[in-house]
Structure 1
Amino acid sequence: MGEFWPVKDALAHLAGRWRVERTVRDLASGEEGHFGGTTVFSPLEDGGDGLLHHESGTFVWQGTPRPAERTLWFLPGRTAGTSDVRFTDGRPFHDLDLTTGHHIAEHPCAADLYRGEFTVYDEDRWRTVWRVGGPAKDLVLTTDYTRERRPSDPVL
């Protein structure tokens, strides 16, 4: 894909609706799954600063489709290009700094380590690659996000 696209305000950039395509590769077994759906970044329900991230769609693993969803909070970081990403029970997930258009984050989870690479390509496309390693996991999750625009939406 090309150069990184710096983001001045992470929350303003992420706000809206995104088409999501994700591949999940189990490096140990060679199995591969696919998730397709949408992610919506909307204002928090309590009116606080930040965004509610809600992802929903269908995950296909070993030929079996299942509904899948997750919800996170993207809260303001220390500066406009950053965010503090949390689970909805308030536990920290990872930091996010998009000021250069590229960021590496880590999240220890029990015996596993999640290492995420975030790349912004332009105002309408970004990618995450999570490498998950631990005693029982050896995964790579690659997710491409493409902004969904309505005909009435202005082009930034």
Structure 2
Amino acid sequence: MTDELWPVADVRAFLAGSWHVERTVRDLADDVTGVFTGTADFTADPATAGALRHLESGSFTWRGIARPARRTLLYLPGEPPGTAEVRFADGRFFHGLDLRTGRHVADHPCSADLYRGEFTVYDAGRWRTVWRVRGPAKDLVLTTDHRRG
């Protein structure tokens, strides 16, 4: 990947559509790596004006066993348009997102663990998230590459 950043003026317009997703999950405590491959579809959410529903689905392989995996997030439009508020499917706040410079760092406390995510946009068809999770229950690095699909 290049280190060049691609500023995003409108998060909704940038994310809308289908993306191919590849994620590695490294458990640093146990020295184990898993892999998720699938798609992420960002579509208009019928229940929330201007919001995008993010449906990710695919296969996650952990310790040699592949299983179906999916998750849903909601991206609420921010002001200005290069920003958004990300929520879990049940409506709980996950993190803010500001891609106006092409890079954003977000924190999400989860019980005693802290998730720190770095979002990097490389161009109109590629972006990456790296979540570093630290705490008494977890010691993980989750790296996700998104490519227009």
TM-score interval w.r.t. the shorter chain? over 0.9
Corresponding residue of 1:50: 51
Corresponding residue of 2:131: 130
Instruction: Give secondary structure in 1 for the equivalent of 2:18.
Output: strand
Q: 1:48-107 CA distances to partner (integer Å, 9 max, x unpaired)?
A: 221000000000000000000000000011211000000122110000000000000000
Corresponding residue of 1:94: 95
Q: After TM superposition, where is structure 1 displaced by more than 6 Å over at least 4 residues in a row?
A: none
Instruction: Give secondary structure in 1 for the equivalent of 2:13.
Output: helix
Alpha-carbon shift at residue 16 of structure 1 (Å): 0.3
Query: Partners of 2:15 and 2:87 in 1: how far apart?
Result: 15
The residue type equivalent to 2:53 in the other structure is: L
Alpha-carbon shift at residue 47 of structure 1 (Å): 5.5
1:2-151 mapped onto 2 (5 Å cutoff): 2-46=3-47, 48-148=49-149
Instruction: Give secondary structure in 2 for the equivalent of 1:79.
Output: coil
Q: 1:103-153 CA distances to partner (integer Å, 9 max, x unpaired)?
A: 0000001111000000000000000000011101000000000001xxxxx
Backbone CA RMSD of aligned residues = 0.8
Instruction: Give secondary structure in 2 for the equivalent of 1:11.
Output: helix
Give the count of matched residue pairs.
148
Instruction: Give secondary structure in 1 for the equivalent of 2:72.
Output: strand
The alignment's TM-score, normalised by the length of structure 2, stands at 0.97
The alignment's TM-score, normalised by the length of structure 1, stands at 0.93
For structure 1, the 5+ residue unaligned runs are 149-156
